[in-house]
Amino acid sequence: TAEVVVSPPFVFLPLVKTTLRPDFHVAAQNCWVKNGGAYTGEVSAEMLVNLDIPWVILGHSERRSLLKESNDFVGDKVAYALAKGLKVIACVGETLEQREAGSTMEVVAAQTKAIAERVTDWTNVVLAYEPVWAIGTGKVASPAQAQEVHSELRDWLQANTSPEIASTTRIIYGGSVSGGNCKELAAKPDVDGFLVGGASLKPEFIDIIKSAEVKKSS
């Protein structure tokens, strides 16, 4: 069965946690890079642990672009959250300009490297590839484009971490995933799941969850 994690804004985390069916988990959309202190308005990893929130999304493209979070900063966040016992969905992905310049893999590898340099135990890490040009634009990376990057990411992990980490780390795809395209994307060998945006608020989210069965039947 698919593992389902729902990630509402901070203020709704306890509400969603208590009302969601127990086999679905919750994730925060971000957390702070170090221990609590004078960081007004930030939510620390410790707070999430205290609330029994098991997952956090880090390095989302909107935080990288709008809030200028660097690769190293995201890497530090991932390492800190893991050290506190959280499971991390770590996001990587290129902009349209970077893709058109042919530097997709260079960008994605640099983002992944900043995480890999700080993480030794990958058990609680899920990598999310989200091409920035496909988020909320209705443009979707074709299944072939998604598979290509996922496959190259796995090759990068094999070369730079270990074959075991490369084969066991889930690499999920994010970027205008919908009920209409999820089965074709899910059928690709290196696409291990999805990071779903707007479609998660619609009934088609059920179809997206069920698309996990595609690999079993093939």
pLDDT tens-digit series, residues 90-101:
999 999 999 999
- Residues 103-117 have pLDDT tens digits of 999 999 999 999 999
User: Does the pLDDT value for residue 217 go beyond 70?
Assistant: no
C-alpha radius of gyration, the chain, whole number: 17
Instruction: Give catalytic residues, as residue numbers.
Output: 60, 130
Beta-bridge partners for 91: 128
**pLDDT band for position 215 (50/70/90)?**
confident
- Write down the pLDDT at residue 108: 98
> Tens of pLDDT along 186-209?
999 999 999 999 999 999 999 999
Is the per-residue pLDDT at 73 higher than 90? yes
pLDDT band with cut points at 50, 70 and 90 for residue 210: very high
Helix (H) or strand (E) holding 149: helix 143-160
Task: Burial-class residue 42 by CB neighbours within 10 Å (0-12, 13-18, 19+).
Answer: middle
Distance of alpha carbon 94 from alpha carbon 27, whole angstroms: 23
Q: How far apart are CA 146 and CA 188, in angstroms?
A: 8
Longest dimension (CA), the chain: 53
37 band by pLDDT with thresholds 50, 70 and 90: confident
Q: Does pLDDT of 3 surpass 80?
A: yes
Which pLDDT band, with edges at 50, 70 and 90, does 59 fall under?
Answer: very high
pLDDT for residue 160: 98
CA dist 21 and 217 (Å) reads 26
